[in-house]
A = this chain, B = another copy of it.
Amino acid sequence: MELAAFLAVMEQIAPRSLALEYDNVGLLVEPDHTDIKKVLIALDCTTTTAQEAIDYGADLLLTHHPQFFYGVKSIGFSSPLTGAAALLLRHGIGHFAAHTNLDAAKGGVNDTLAELFGLLNVEPVPPENIGRVGVLPVPMKLSELVDRCNHILGCRSAYAGDPDRLVCRMAVLGGAGGGDLEEIQAAGAEVYLTGEAKHNQILEAGERDLALILCGHFETERVVLKSLLDRLQILAPDVQYKITLREKAPLLFS
C-alpha cells in the first residue's frame, strides 16, 4: 500500500485535528519505502520496539507515544531520547505516532476503555473531549471495581477512596490523567480510572471525595492496540500487521 494512502487511513482513524496543541503526531521518521507492507504496532518507540520492527522487517513502527516530544538538536544511537529513532533511520523504517488524537478519537484509547468496562451513556469529558464518562452496568463497591480493573486490564491497581463506597458513574482516561480532576468531577464522575497521577493530584482527589483508581500508564493504554489493529485490518487490509511481542509493562511489582 502506498505510504500516502496509509497515512490517509490513519487520518481517518485518528484525525490530526483532535491532537492537543502541544502534541507531536504524524510521520516523525520517514521510511525508505513508500510501499508499506508490514507495520509493527506498539505503545512506545523505544530501542526495544525499534529492534523488533527491524527483526520483523517492518516498514513502519506505529506507536501511541511520539519519540520526539520536545524538539531535539542532536541525535544518536546511545542517546536515551533519540536512540530508537536513530535505529529506525538506520534501517529505513518509518515512525508514525497517533497520540492525543488517538486518545480522543472515536474508537480510540478511551472509547476502548469505556467499552471494556461496559459503560452506558458514554460521553466525552469537556472541554478537551479526551476522557469519557458513563454509568457502570451495575453499581458496585470501589474495591470490587478495583478487582475488575485488575482483571480487565491485567494490572495491579493502586487506588484512593473508601473501599466500601458504592460507585456508579465512572470516568476513564488512559495515561496520565491527574491534571483533569476538576473537569472529571464536573462531569459527574464518582470514580476516576486513569493510568498515573502525581502525589498532589491524589491528595486533591481525596479533598474532592473523588475515588481514584490508578491502573498504570502502560496498562490503560495498551488496550488500544487491539482496537487499532482491528480497524487497520478493515481499512488497510493489504498491509501485514503485528502487535509488539517484546514491549512489556515497564514496571515490575514487588
Residues of B contacting A70 in the complex (Cβ-Cβ under 8 angstroms): 71, 73
Min C-beta distance of A44 to chain B, whole Å: 6
Closest to A48 in B: B206
Residue A139 interfacial (CB < 8 Å): no
Residue A26 interfacial (CB < 8 Å): yes
CB–CB A75/B28 < 8 A: yes
- Chain B CB within 10 A, most for which of A143, A157, A199, A206: A199
Complex interface: stretch among A80-88, A118-126, A224-232, A235-243: A80-88
A interface, over-half SS? mixed
CB–CB B83/A254 < 8 A: no
Mask, A179-214, CB within 8 Å of B = 1, is 001000000000000011011101110111000001
Residue A24 interfacial (CB < 8 Å): yes
Residues of B contacting A176 in the complex (Cβ-Cβ under 8 angstroms): 198-199
Min C-beta distance of A163 to chain B, whole Å: 7
Residues of B contacting A157 in the complex (Cβ-Cβ under 8 angstroms): 253-254
Min C-beta distance of A182 to chain B, whole Å: 8
* Distance between Cα atoms of A165 and B44 in the complex (Å): 24
* Distance between Cα atoms of A81 and B84 in the complex (Å): 20
